[in-house]
Structure 1
C-alpha cells in the first residue's frame, strides 16, 4: 500500500483520501476515473446509428449533449476542479447536494477531485454520469455501461456453461445429500460467489474483464488467498436458524457486478434453496447504472431472458426456473436509492429506515464486492487487525457475511502481523484483486 508512512503509523480512523499524491486513491482518481469517462464517450459515439434508428434525430442531438457532459466531467477530474451541485430532477438530487454542502463545511472549502474523501468522489462521479443522462428528454432510460456489461456476460459463456451444468448435478443430488455433503457444497458455492467478484469492470476502467476459465477448477489454488474465512460461522448461522424455527429462513444478497459474478450469486442462491438452507432469497440491485458493472434490474432481467433463449439445457433450465421463482415471490428483487448515495452503511438506519427495517427481517445478509465492503467499514483508515464487527460501527440489521476480493486499500479482521506477511509476498495485495476476505458479523442479541 502506497499511503504515506506517517498516516499509517498514526492509526487514525479517517476517510481514505486522494489528498496524498502517493496514495492509491489519488492514482485512481487521477488516472483510472478519466479513462472510464472517456470510454463512456467512445461507447456513446458508437451508439449514434442505433439511437437514430430507434429514437430519431432529436435523440441523436441529446446523445451529443451527453457526450459533451462526459468531456466536461473528464476535464474537471483531470484538472482538480471543485465538485459542483447536481442539477437534474432525480429524487436523490437534494440528498447529494446537501451532502456536498456538509462536506464543504467539514473541509472548509468546496471539495476538489484530488483532495477529498475517495469514496465520496468515486460515488459522485458515477452520479454525475447519471445526471448527464437524466437531463435528456428521450434517453433517460439509457444505461451508458450496458454494452460493456452484456459483452462481459457473453464472453463468459464457457465458464457460465460449466458452472450451471455442475449446479444442475448438485441440485439433483441435494435431495439425498448428507449434512456433511451440504456443508462442503455451501463452502464451495460461497467461494464461487467470492471469486466471481474479480470480474469488475470499474477496476479495468470498463475495458473488459470476463471470466473465461472454469472457476471450479481454480478454487483449491485460490483458497490460500482467503485472508479471513468466516464461512464456518455463516454455516452455523444457517443451520441454527433452520433448527430453531423448524424451517430455513430468509436470505438477502446485496449484489455487486453483473455478468459472471451475478451468475455465481444466482448459483449460490439456488444451492441454498435446493439444500433447504433458505426459504426465500431477496436480491438487492442498484437503482441506476453504477460503478460500470453493478447490477441493475434491467441487467438482472436481461440475464434471465438471455438464459432462457439459449439452447444449452442447463442454462435455459435455470433461466426459466429463476424467472418462475421471481414470479411466485420466492425470490424478490429490490431496488433502493440508498445504495447509490454517498453514505456508508453505518448511517443507513437514520438515512433509510425502511431499507434498514427490510434488511432486519433477514436471517443472513450476503454483501458482495469491494464497494459494499468499503461502505460497510466506512472506507476509513482502519488498523487491519481491528475486528470486522468493530469496523461496522454499529451497523447490524441482521447477521451478515461480506464476500470481497480486495481491490482498495482498506481491510479489517486480520490476524496480528498478517498484513506484513502478505505484503512481503505481494506488495500490491490490497489493490490487485488476488486476495479476499469472507467476513462475518452478527448482532450481539442473536
Structure 2
C-alpha cells in the first residue's frame, strides 16, 4: 500500500510541471494565422504562384521589341604595290587600315498569326490556376491543421477525464482502507481498489504521452519549435442551417478541383489557337542606326579616312507555306488534349458530387451520434451518482461501483470523440463545397 502511494505520487510529480506549463492557450484563429504564415507547403505553393505571375507579365508576352547593340573594330596591315596612270610604280610597306563600327538594332514583330496573343492568354490562365492551387494547398493544410488541433483538444479532454477517474479511484481506495481498518470489509476490496488505481494511472500516463506526441505533430504543421507547449481550445461550435442541396450547389460553383480543371480546359483551347497560328504569316519590322569609320595611311588609297552614320529600316514577311505537316499534327494533338481535359472535368464533377454527398451523410450521421452520446453520458452520469450514493451506504459492491465508474468514463470519452468527429465531418463538407475559407472557426 505504501508502494502504491509512492507510485501515484511519482506519477504526478513527473507530469506536474508539464500540466502546469500548459498555460498558454493556442486559439483556432492564432493557429490559422501561424499556419498561413509559417507552413512550408503553403510557402512553396505561394512561390509557384509568383512564378506564374512572372510568366503572365508583359515582359514575357512577346509584345515588346528586342533591342541589340553591336560594336566592332579591326586593324589590317599590308604591303602593297600599285602602278599609276603615267606608268610610275609606288609601293607601300606596312600600310595600316583601321575600321570601326557600332550599331543599334531594333526588331519588332507586327504580326505572328496571333500566336503570342494566345500564348499570353494561356500564361494568364496558368497564373490564375496557380492561385487556385495555392488555395487548394491552404484548404488541405487547414483541414490537416484542424484534424491535429482537434485531436489535441480531444486528448486534452480525455486526459482531464482520466484525471477525474483517478481522483474517484483514490477516494475509493481511502474509503476501502477505512472500512478495512474498522472491520467493515475484507482486504480484497483494498486490493481491488489498488489494482484499479494502477490501471487508471497507466491509462492517464498513456493519454499524456499521446497528447505530447500530438502536440509535436501540430507544432510541425505550424513550423515552430516542436517542444512548444500550449493548451488547445476545446470549444466546438457548429454552423447552423446547413442544407444538402445548397452545399451541392456551392460545390458545383466553388469546388477548387473543378475550378482548376476549368483552367486546364481554357489553356488547352488556347493551345489549339496557338497551333493554328502556324498557318498564318509573320510580319516584322527592323530598324538600325549605325556608325562606321575607316582610316587608311596607304599612299595608294584614294580616301585616307571615311566616316558614315545612318538609319536604315525594313519590313519583312515570312510565310511558312508548308512545314512538312508538323503544324497539322500539332493542331490534332492539341484538340485531343482539349477533349481529354473535358473528360477529366466530367470525371471530377462526378467525384465532387460523390464527395459532397458522402460528406453530408457523414456529417449528418456524426451529429446524430453526438446527440446519442450526449444522452448516453447523461444516463451514465445519473447512474454513477446513484451507484456512488448506494456504495457509500454499503448497498453495492466495489465491483458494481467500478463498473458504473467505467461506464461513465467510457461515455465521457465516447462523447468527446463524437463531438470532434462531427466537427471534422463538417470541415470536410465545407472543403468539398469550396466554403472552408469563408467560415469562422
Tell me which interval the TM-score lies in, with the shorter structure as reference length.
under 0.3
Give the number of the structure whose residues are more often helix, by fraction.
Answer: 2
User: Greater CA radius of gyration, 1 or 2?
Assistant: 2
* TM-score calculated relative to the size of structure 2: 0.19
* TM-score calculated relative to the size of structure 1: 0.19
Higher RCO (CA 8 Å, separation ≥ 6 residues): 2
